[in-house]
Structure 1
Amino acid sequence: MDDLTLPTAITNFITATNDADSEQFVAQFAPDAFLDDWGNVYRGPAEIAKWNQTDNIGKESQFALQDFTQDDAKTWTVHLSLTGKGFNGVSPFRMTIKNDLLASVEILPD
């Protein structure tokens, strides 16, 4: 990793998942945010909360930061190692920040 610092919303996304704190997890997203999990798109806090229960904290996911790059002023690609009762492995997440919250999270095929 270089000397860049990840935005708080991204570090909170990781910490909330690892702490199984669903309320804090959803709070990291802007009201009009979306989460794209390999083409399945979840829009707004209610849908993102459902995804969180079926595919993230509900699967006891744990994230370990591998590395990251800043793609532009508002977008980061974060490589996370995932373990739990769902997907296990390293996956890239493209995250866009708006007003200090996550505007979008795209989970990309590796």
Structure 2
Amino acid sequence: MTIDLPAPVRTAIDAANANDTDAFLDCFPPDGVVDDWGREFAGRDEIRGWSDREFIGVKVNLTVVQVAIEDLNVVVTAQVGGDGFNGPSHFTFRVEGGQVTRMTIRA
């Protein structure tokens, strides 16, 4: 099944699944933010550190199950796999100016 996603979100998910940290970071502007269950990582250096420890660094794999678009937010329900957390999660991508300005992860 193919699920349509806005290009910046598709690029971020594809980069994560390819374990391509640089391509993942390129989806964010310099002041982008990742909010992982209330822990915020601002800017590409902090996002890289978080990703190296907890996301791409543990070979994350995201299988998109559902998508809802709410104004500037794209809410993706995904099954997460890899060597870290495994299970369902919701990723809210705020898309502005062709980039992901914020990615929020919740159960």
TM over 0.5: yes
**Runs of 5+ consecutive residues of structure 2 not aligned to the other structure:** none
Which structure 1 residue ranges, 4+ long, deviate > 6 Å from structure 2?
none
Q: Using the TM superposition, give the Cα deviation of residue 5 of structure 1 relative to its aligned residue in structure 2, in angstroms.
A: 3.7
* Structure 2 equivalent of residue 54 of structure 1: 53
* Structure 1 equivalent of residue 101 of structure 2: 103
- Distance in 2 between the 1:19 and 1:83 partners? 13
Contact 1:30 1:98 in 2 (8 A): no
2:85 to 87, 94, 106: 87
Q: Percent identity?
A: 29
* Structure 1 equivalent of residue 43 of structure 2: 44
Alignment of 1:4-83 (within 5 A): 5-72=4-71, 74-83=72-81
Opposite residue 97 of structure 1, the aligned amino acid is V
- Distance in 2 between the 1:7 and 1:50 partners? 26
**Runs of 5+ consecutive residues of structure 1 not aligned to the other structure:** none
Opposite residue 24 of structure 1, the aligned amino acid is A
- Distance in 1 between the 2:49 and 2:9 partners? 19
TM-score by length of 2: 0.93
Aligned residue pairs, count = 106
User: What do the CA deviations read for 1:28-53 (whole angstroms, capped 9, x no partner)?
Assistant: 01111110000110001110111110
